[in-house]
Structures are given as structure tokens and as C-alpha cells.
Amino acid sequence: MVSKVIVGDIVKASNGQFLPADMVLISSSEPQVTCYVATSNLDGETNLKLRQALLETAQMQTERQLSSLSGKIECEGPNRHFNTFIGTLYLNDESPVPIGPDQVLLRGTQLKNTQWVLGIVVYTGFETKFMQNSIKSPLKKSRVEKVTNVQILVLFVLLLAMSLVSCVGAILWNVEGTWYFGTKDYSSHSLGFDLLVFIILYHNLIPISLLVTLEIVKYVQAMFINWDEDMHYKENNIYAIARTSNLNEELGQVKYLFSDKTGTLTCNIMKFKKCSIAGIIYGLSPSVLTESYEFNDPTLLQNFENGHPTKDYIKEFLTLLCMCHTVIPERDEDKIIYQASSPDEAALVKWVKKLGFVFTTRTPTSVTIEAVSSILNTFSCNRKRMSVIVRTPTGNLRLYCKGADTVIYERLSEDSLFMKETLTHLEHFAKGGLRTLCVAYTDLTEEEYQQWLTEYKKASSVIQDRMQSLEECYDKIEKKFLLLGATAIEDRLQARVPETIVTLLKANIRIWVLTGDKQETAINIAYSCKLISAQMPRIRLNTHSLEATQQAVTQNCEALGTLIGKENDLALIIDGETLKYALNFEVERSFLNLALSCRAVLCCR
């Protein structure tokens, strides 16, 4: 089937089938023209993804309707980015329809919980994103293997040289040494034959058995790794597994270890712990946190139910968390199961559910919670924030936004309250090693929204620089926020992470960790996992310009003096904004020398 599909075909796929090409979803069996796909073959994620068909083609389901479909699709060229797609659908005598990644079904994904879908093929064969990412695995060779190969090549060249010299000697001997036979014709002897004879005679020069011996040694090493009791996790009876033996000897040559935090050092199992609403902190203190503890502060519900002055703020706070997300609800008999690509969002939605704000249904135009609100536009990307515009039951327009504190605070209105109190609470959460988010909102007028909507539709229809145009459009409306509060979520360290990091540091392995947490949170986690000790001097780089970054890096390099480039018991902590300037070609070399002089490097939000 895959070989017969060409660009422009309309393909129908049934539940459970793997899609044969990249195609734009035009219709489905679901009432809201949506479908669910499993993308585990592409990105390894097990949660289902929601895809939304184009509303302009949603009613085209029969062969007669599809045969009358006429138009064209303009889209970007083939690329390997799974989460991006820029295209525009032009139907006859109709306005251009923007196409994004939520309207695209990729080859290799599996249709789930949907009877059937219809899609227009845009990429086939090697142009699909699946094939663009199907690169040949590089052949990894250890240093011993590389040196051995070079030495064998040298020995083979030496073998040929010795054989050639011996051939010349044999010719001279047979011509001059047998004069008494009275023959000067040496045609009976072949140079090639003599060369082959001497190669056979000298073949022991090539240590053929060495390669076999090395492979046997590597196999035995892998067996010892599998049997090593020091790498045995007794609680779950899990031993180390050597999946390949090619690079065993390289383990002793490792100097640097690069790691992210979430899911590697931590469990990636989020639990809602605390929150700050209208300047009031809710949740137990860190001293009484236990492994089984989850948020259960009765004060929050009491303030909400008993008419506390912050009641309206609490309501807006919970409503925002219940609506501003990408979670997909699934029903299993009387239970609601939340599917989420982000464990943070799942933790927030589950928490507000316990407080009575239940997220039950998602459609292309609305979500259902305690009160139904129409979602007019949602947008989310790598902007450290996510926003949603809703029309409330009273008819008012409101924009909800959640994101990193650095992004939210720079967009707050001068009239916003609780800024200092919330900032203090954020620092308190961060020192406890909790992941934080700020939440805010702003009211919109109908005229303001319609004007922005026109610009948004125009920006979402362009092919060139669409993301930049959308960013500029988002910035025009994501402003003058009123702060509601902040959330704090815990992601615990995995078992025996601190002991492992201490052992690696003792082996003189330098560890660099990347995280999207606040700097205070990242430092606290670094202390918890023993990456940084209390006695270890720290270099903190927090600048806001290229000149300031260059000056700070230069000063620290000069302070190290002759120790620059050597291993020092130092920790380098740098935030994302400073890193952007530090990677500029004017600063890059000095920054690299500084980083190579530190035992631990921590890059955070």
C-alpha cells in the first residue's frame, strides 16, 4: 500500500492501522472531526495525541463529496522535525486555511480510538518525516580497535614490501646464481606467483588471531558487567545490562558526562505540592513533606467556600489551571483518565479535579468544566508560556496564561497585585526543589479581540517565516496581565542518584546538567543529588547583555589564572539568557575554557 500512495491522493485509514504517508487530516468518524494517534514509533511517547481535522473539509466524507474537492496545498519542504508543519490550503473561492502540526498525520503513527480518518497526502517515501529521521546508525569503534586497525594496516604494508623485496632477490638469484645451467631466460618464473608465495610465507606477520582474541575478551567483559554485584539494584532485582561490548574499554576513558534532569536524574512523576494564590501560600511546609504526601490543605477550600476576600482569585486560579493545557480526557466507564504529553499538566489537572473543578470534555471549540466556556484560540510553543482565550458564560472575553516566572513577570500590568509576595513564594518553592509556574490573566474587549483575530489569521496563513509572524502576533495580546499566583510541583530524584553521582565525581568525571527549572530550584536539586557540595565554590553567570557576559567570563578566567583549563573543585551555574550570549563567537572560546575548568556545570532556565 505504501508504494502505491502518491502526493495528492486521498487516503482512508481505519482504527489500528499505521499511516502510510504524511497527510493532512480532512475528515474523521468522530462528531468533532478529531482523531487520536499513537506516536511511539516516532518519538517514543506512549500517550495518545489529539489531531483536529480542517473544519472547512469536515463534512466531506462520501466519494461524491470528495470528488468535488478542488484546490491546492502549499507547504514547507520535507524536513525531519516531527512537531512542526507550515502549510496553507487554498479552496476555490474561499479564504486560505492555515495548516499546522495539529492537522497533520505522520507516517508511522497508529490510529487509535477512531473508526476511520480521511487525509490528503503531502509527503511520501523518503520525503516523509519518518524517513527523514531514519538515518543509518554510525559505526562506533573504540580507541583500541582504531589503533589495532592502523597497526594491522602498517603490518600489511610491511608484508607487501618484504614480499616485493624477496621477489626481486629471487629473480636476481635465479638469473645470476644459476649461470652454469646455460639459461638466461627467466620466463618460466612468474613475478606474481613468487609474490603470492612470499605473502604466504610471511603471513604470520599479520596477527589474525588478535582480532578473535579481542572479541572474546570483550564478550567476557560484558558478562562480568552483567554479573557485577556492585551494579545490582536489589530492591527490584535489576542487574546492569551490557547491550553492546564494542566500547567496554572506553568506559575508563570517559571524562565528561552530559545529562538532562527530568526523567534522567528524577522520576518524571509529578505531584502537586503547593501553590500561591493572591499572595497567600497554600500547602504544608517542606519540613513535613513525605514521600506519600500530596496537596491537601483545607484552608484553600475554606477560603473559597466561606467568602474569603480572595475567593474570586481562587476561582480564576483554578479555572485557569482547568482550561489552559493540552490534556486529553478519556472515559473508562465512570472514570476520567487524563492523557498528557506533559506530566506537569497532568498533575495540575488532577489536582483541580480534587477541588471540584473537573475537566471532562475537549472539542475543537470548547472545553467542559464546572461551566462551559468556548475556546476561541489556543497557542503553545517553545515560548516558556501557554495561553488560551475563552468566552465565559457571561459573555466576557478573557485570556489565561501560565508559564515561567521570568516570562510572566515581564508581561504584568502595573496595576497587578501580589507581585512581591508571589516572588517571595516562588523563591521559597525553588529552595525546596519544586518546579514552579506562574499564572495570570487579562480581560479583552470585543473590538480588541476581533482586531487581533484578523492579524492572527493573516499570520497563520503565510508560508515564509510563519513562526516569527505568529510570535509577533502573540506578543501584541499577551500583555498587561494580572497576576493570580503560582504553582509548585515535585519531581523526586530516582533511587540512588546521589550515590551514583558521588561515585562518578570520585572517578574524576566532570558532569554537566541541563534543566528548565528556575535557578534556585536547579541549585537545590544539584545539592540533593550531590552534584554540588556546600564546600564547593560556585561561579554564577547571570547577565542580560553580550558585553556583560563577556566581562563576567573574562573576570572569572583571569581569577583562575594558571588554573584555567585544569580540573578545579568548582561549580559553574549559568542561566539560559546568559548562555545565549556566552555561545556568541566573541565569548565562546573563553566560556568553554571556563567551563572546562569546573568540576560541575549546571545550566538552568
pLDDT tens-digit profile of 104-162?
A: 999 999 998 888 999 999 999 899 988 888 877 777 888 888 898 899 999 999 999 99
**Domain end among 160, 177, 206:** 206
Residue 392, marked binder = no
The model scores a pTM over 0.85: no
Are 346 and 338 contacting, i.e. CB atoms less than 8 angstroms apart? yes
Residue 605, marked binder = yes
| Res. 379: pLDDT tops 50 | no
The domain total for the chain is: 4
Strand locations in 57-201, DSSP E?
Answer: 71-75, 87-91, 97-99, 104-105, 110-112, 116-123
Residue 516, marked binder = yes
pLDDT tens-digit profile of 308-336?
A: 888 888 888 888 888 887 777 777 766 77
Lowest-confidence pick of 154-163, 319-328, 511-520, 592-601: 319-328
Q: Which of 459, 463, 434, 422 is nearest to 72 (CA)?
A: 463
Q: Are residues 95 and 165 in the same domain?
A: no
324 burial level (CB within 10 Å; 0-12, 13-18, 19+): buried
CATH number of the domain where residue 428 is located: 3.40.1110.10
C-alpha cell at 350: 488532577
Residue 170 has phi, psi (to 5 degrees) of -65, -40
Which H or E run includes 519? helix 519-528
| Res. 400: pLDDT tops 80 | yes
- The answer to the question of residue 410 being in a domain is yes
Of 9, 102, 260, 312, the active-site residue reads 260
Residue 326, marked binder = no
Find the DSSP H helices in 355-431: 405-409, 419-431
Are 32 and 102 contacting, i.e. CB atoms less than 8 angstroms apart? no
pLDDT tens-digit profile of 70-106?
A: 888 888 888 888 888 888 888 877 778 888 888 899 9
Which H or E run includes 533? none
Q: Give residue 193's domain range.
A: 143-206
- Cα dihedral 224, 258, 528, 275 sign: negative
Residue 499, marked binder = no
State the residue for C-alpha cell 536489589: 234
Q: How far apart are CA 281 and CA 422, in angstroms?
A: 9
Residue 272, marked binder = no
Contact partners, residue 494, CB within 8 Å, separation at least 6: 265, 266, 267
Are 364 and 50 contacting, i.e. CB atoms less than 8 angstroms apart? no
Strands 10-14 and 97-99: unpaired
Q: How far apart are CA 274 and CA 300, in angstroms?
A: 11
Mean pLDDT along residues 470-485: 88
| Res. 236: pLDDT tops 90 | no
Q: Are residues 336 and 394 in the same domain?
A: yes
- The answer to the question of residue 405 being in a domain is yes
Mean pLDDT (the chain, rounded): 83
Q: Are residues 107 and 57 in the same domain?
A: yes
Residue 543, marked binder = no
- The answer to the question of residue 259 being in a domain is no
- The answer to the question of residue 246 being in a domain is no
Instruction: Quote the pLDDT of residue 256.
Output: 92
592 burial level (CB within 10 Å; 0-12, 13-18, 19+): middle
Q: Are residues 472 and 504 in the same domain?
A: no
Confidence category of residue 290, pLDDT binned at 50, 70, 90: very low
Is the model more confident about 368 or about 586?
586
Instruction: Quote the pLDDT of residue 441.
Output: 92
**Domain end among 491, 507, 541:** 491
**Domain end among 444, 463, 491:** 491
Q: How far apart are CA 52 and CA 105, in angstroms?
A: 10
Residue 125 has phi, psi (to 5 degrees) of 55, -135
Lowest-confidence pick of 174-188, 234-248, 527-541: 174-188
Q: Which of 380, 390, 379, 483 is nearest to 438 (CA)?
A: 483
CATH number of the domain where residue 30 is located: 2.70.150.10
- The answer to the question of residue 234 being in a domain is no
Q: Which of 127, 129, 133, 126 is nearest to 105 (CA)?
A: 129
Confidence category of residue 186, pLDDT binned at 50, 70, 90: low
Contact partners, residue 23, CB within 8 Å, separation at least 6: 11, 104, 105, 119, 120, 121, 122
Are 83 and 101 contacting, i.e. CB atoms less than 8 angstroms apart? yes
Confidence category of residue 287, pLDDT binned at 50, 70, 90: very low
Instruction: Please provide the DSSP assignment of 187-256 as one string.
Output: TTS-HHHHHHHHHHHTGGGS-HHHHHHHHHHHHHHHHHHHH-GGG-BTTTTB----S--TTGGGGGG--E
Q: How far apart are CA 423 and CA 234, in angstroms?
A: 43
- The answer to the question of residue 220 being in a domain is no
Q: Are residues 387 and 303 in the same domain?
A: yes
Mean pLDDT along residues 485-496: 86
Q: How far apart are CA 597 and CA 594, in angstroms?
A: 5
C-alpha cell at 570: 568548582
Q: What is the DSSP letter of 292?
A: T
Q: Are residues 349 and 270 in the same domain?
A: yes
- The answer to the question of residue 387 being in a domain is yes
Q: Are residues 473 and 500 in the same domain?
A: no
Active site residue 260: yes
Residue 56, marked binder = no
Residue 260, marked binder = yes
- The answer to the question of residue 577 being in a domain is yes
Residue 421 has phi, psi (to 5 degrees) of -65, -45
State the residue for C-alpha cell 483541580: 352
